[in-house]
Structure 1
Amino acid sequence: MDVFNEHPLKKRRGRLLWMIAGAVVCLLVLFAGAAYYVDSQLQPTALSDTVKTVTIPSGSSVPQIAAILKQAGLIRNETLFTYYARFEGSGNKLQAGTYQFHPGQTIDQLLTAMANGDTYVETVKFTIPEGWNTEQIARSLEEKGIVKKQDFLREVNEGKFPEYPFVADIPQKEGRKYRLEGYLFPETYEFKKGATAHEVVAKLLGQFEKELKPEWLDTLNKRKLSLDDAVNLASIVEREVVSDRERPIVAGVFFNRMRESWLLQSCATVQFVLGKQRDRITLDDLKIDSPYNTYIHPGLPPGPIANPGRASLAAVVNPAVHDYFFFVTKKDGSSEHYFSKTYQEHLARDAKSRGNF
């Protein structure tokens, strides 16, 4: 009897094993499908250059944050985002605020930004043209609603900037109008809306420091020329010249005149005294008694007359070597100059220039 009953028992065991195997396969398939689904729902949304600005109100729960992100098209699944944030440990670290995200950022990137509070701050672009003086900058800053003119000017003269050692080396010469004139580097900036005057000035000084090449400072030291004197002369070159090609030549003219203890006789310094640009300067203008008037006071003025750009600074560091002592505008529309070695030659070229005009 046992012999005859053994075969049906084996068959039943076989069917049971197949059923178990089938159930295991089904579970594996279900698990794989679920894992695939979860993974796909946690993937970034389609990459896009479109910026999405979202605001997370104070006190928002993770599900509420997930709903905001889903509505903005930044995540695929609210529920899975919520579980992932809690599992990953950042669920209770997410901060309120306004953020800017791009579709295509990963969930980890979104969570990290919100956990760090990397909120979006509205900014304002501001360009300082080469050769602008401090008052022009202050006026434009106020017109654009960035900072008040008087706050900026006060910071320029009284602000403390220990992070920039060159500021401490600026000499406080008698008659100097603005302490940081010349060091407010001309460039395009982006300021946070609501920035303080101190923050604005610090950013301009920071850019000036970036522009200072170590080899420039080495050259100035070898020539025994202080940084402030270099900036001062560069500001005059900036206001005298339009063509970058001519800047080293004009710088060379001024160095030649200083070497011979001649007056610089720069019309740009007189324009600074007048406080506005004039097409013509009169003989009376040349006689104005101001320490900035290089027609009557020897050497450099008490401080820079504008904020020079890269080309003018480079021209003073590496001026052209020549025998010119004079230059005069051609007045032929080219904005370039005639250069002369002698006063007689200069008078002849000045007459020629006036003929062109």
Structure 2
Amino acid sequence: MREDENRRQNRSNEQQNRARDFRVNINDDAYRADSGAQSAGEPDVLHSYSSPQTRKAMVESEMRAMKAEERALKERSREKGRRNRNFFRMIWVAMVIILGIGIGQYLVTGIADMLAYQKQQTKVTVDIPKGASVGEIAKVLYKGGVINEPGFFQLYSGITRANNAYMNGTFELETDMDYEAIINYLQTDNNRTDIVKVMFQEGLNVQEIAALMEKSGVCSAKEILEYANSQDFNNYELIKSLGNASNRYYMLEGYLFPDTYEFYKDEDPKQALGKMINNTSKKLTTAIRDKAKEQGMSIDEVLNLASIIQAESADEDDMLQVSSVLHNRLKNGVATGTQKLGCDSTIFYPYRTKAQVPEAQRDTYTSRYNTYEITGLPPGPIVNPGIAAINAALSPAKTDYYYFCHSADGKAYYAKTAEQHQKNLKKAGLTK
């Protein structure tokens, strides 16, 4: 019984072992033939049951195919790049050729214009505005027919560094002038034709001169007045020796000789005033300077005294008498009680009359030049005297007069004493 039971147990164990060790072993060819999943001529497919050699061969085949495709793609890209480069190279060459033709044409026409090649000779007048740029000047010349290529002229002017040397004004040019001749012509005032003549009468003061210059179109009155009281003329021999600048209303008062001058329209005010100072220096001859030195007078004192004589006198004969009165007071004023010159022309300087004084200052205005308040000559001249007044200041009449006055019609009265002067004032209609 016990043996039967052992045999049954052994058979059961064998069956379990055979079931555990069971394996299905079917080769690939038999499977493909039996399953019918792959038709004849169809490429091999890699399966999990393929052999290692088959799998390796198929992977390598696929890698070779991918690399071939990659090489083909690169070749197509290179071919496309070559075609693009060739296209753009053709475009670039065409642009260079077109640009070269354009530049060449520009240079040919520009150089021909620069040299005035085959240009007809005619005279034209052009107006160069004040402060005009080179471009604006080129346009003016182009419109006037002087040049044909304004851009090339502007380029040439810049290369030759001529841009900052052009003058304003009116010029008469010939149309067959080359660029160099045009530039040289426009860089000097001597070639300007917009000349105005201005006559300054004897006895005008700086304010009146400035107003006349503005009216004549020379320059603005404001600019003249600013320069007339500046230090910009200290390089002139006549001006650099002047003292007491802070006490003067206008440094150039008395040094702008009355005469007829030629100015340019819109002239530089410093240049215009310089002409007048130079003329004053010429008018003050060696003889005048020597005579002033003999009498112990500086040129400034001569002009100062002459300015009062010019402002106070009725005519040239009267100048000699008025000069004698002023000289007598300057020499003997303390002894005679006439040390103050007492001239009406100095009361409101630099204005002529009280009415000309700005309204805000009119009632309280006191001039530093008022010879009723100060002793001796004022700080500087009060007008610009002519040669007759200058000669009278150096060569007064020999008199004992200490007083003078004039009637409304210009008749002169002279007196030795204050009593005689009061009588003369009544005769002249100046008092009752």
The TM-score, its normalising length taken from structure 1, stands at: 0.64
CA contact (8 A) 1:289 1:296 kept: no
Shift of 1:63: 4.8
Q: Deviations over 1:266-307 (max 9, x none)?
A: 0111142554377xxxxxx9x964321111211111111111
Q: Does 1:61 align with 2:116?
A: yes
| 3-state secondary structure, aligned to 1:158 | coil
Q: Distance in 1 between matches of 2:278 and 2:212?
A: 20
Of 245, 267, 270, 1:195 maps to 267
What is the CA distance between 1:186 and its match in structure 2? 1.0
Query: 2:403 maps to which residue?
Result: 326
Q: Does the residue aligned with 1:298 lie in a helix, a strand or coil?
A: coil
Name the SS of the counterpart of 2:209 in structure 1: helix
Secondary structure of the residue aligned to 2:281 is: helix
Higher relative contact order (CA 8 A, sep 6+): 1
Contact 1:182 1:306 in 2 (8 A): yes
Distance in 2 (alpha carbons) for counterparts of 1:211 and 1:176:
23
Mapping for residues 65-80 of structure 1, pairs under 5 Å: 65-66=120-121, 68=122
**Equivalent residue for 1:136, pick from 178, 195, 208:** 208
Q: Is the 8 A contact 2:245 2:251 kept in 1?
A: no
Q: What's the C-alpha RMSD, in Å, of the aligned pairs?
A: 3.0
Equivalent of 1:210 in 282, 291, 305: 282
Relative distance call for 1:151 and 1:115 in structure 2 (3 A) is closer
The 1:239/1:355 distance shift into structure 2, 3 A limit, reads: closer
Q: How far apart, in 2, do the equivalents of 1:325 and 1:216 lie?
A: 26
1:295 aligns with 2:350: no
Say which SS state the counterpart of residue 191 (structure 2) adopts.
coil
SS at match of 1:354: coil
Contact 1:246–1:336 (Cα < 8 Å) also in 2: no
How far, CA to CA, are the matches of 2:350 and 2:278 in structure 1?
Answer: 28
What is the aligned partner in structure 2 of residue 337 from structure 1?
Answer: 412
> Is the 1:164–1:209 contact (alpha carbons within 8 Å) kept by the matching residues of 2?
no
Between Structure 1 and Structure 2, whose CA radius of gyration is higher?
2
Report the CA distance between 1:344 and its aligned residue: 1.5
Q: Cα–Cα, structure 1 residues 243 and 277, in superposed 2: closer, same or farther, change >3 Å? A: farther
Percent of matched pairs sharing the same residue: 29
Aligned to 1:40: none
What one-letter code is carried by the residue in structure 2 that aligns with 1:190? E
Write the mapping of 1:13-24 to structure 2, written as runs, cut at 5 A. Answer: none
The reply to whether residue 250 of structure 1 matches residue 322 of structure 2 is: yes
Paired positions, count: 253
2:310 partner amino acid? E
Give, in whole Å, the separation in 1 of the partners of 2:309 and 2:182. Answer: 49
Residue 342 of structure 2 corresponds to 265
Q: Which residue does the alignment assign to 1:122?
A: 194
Aligned partner of 1:185 in structure 2 is: 257
Instruction: Find the aligned partners of 1:212 and 1:263 in 2 and give their Cα distance.
Output: 28
Superposed counterparts of 1:230-245, under 5 Å = 230-245=302-317
2:222 is aligned, of 136, 150, 172, to 150
**Distance across 1 between alignment mates of 2:234 and 2:347:** 33
Gaps of 5+ in 1: 1-57, 70-96, 102-112, 279-284
Classify the secondary structure of the residue corresponding to 2:414. strand
- 2:417 maps to amino acid: T
Deviation at 1:128, TM superposition (A): 1.5
Q: Is structure 2 residue 408 aligned with structure 1 residue 353? A: no
- In 2, Cα distance between equivalents of 1:215 and 1:304: 21
SS in 2 for 1:255: helix
Cα distance in 1 between the residues matched to 2:245 and 2:230: 15
Cα deviations by residue, 1:59-113 (Å, 9 ceiling, x for unpaired): 47365344x26xxxxxxxxxxxxxxxxxxxxxxxxxxx94389xxxxxxxxxxx9
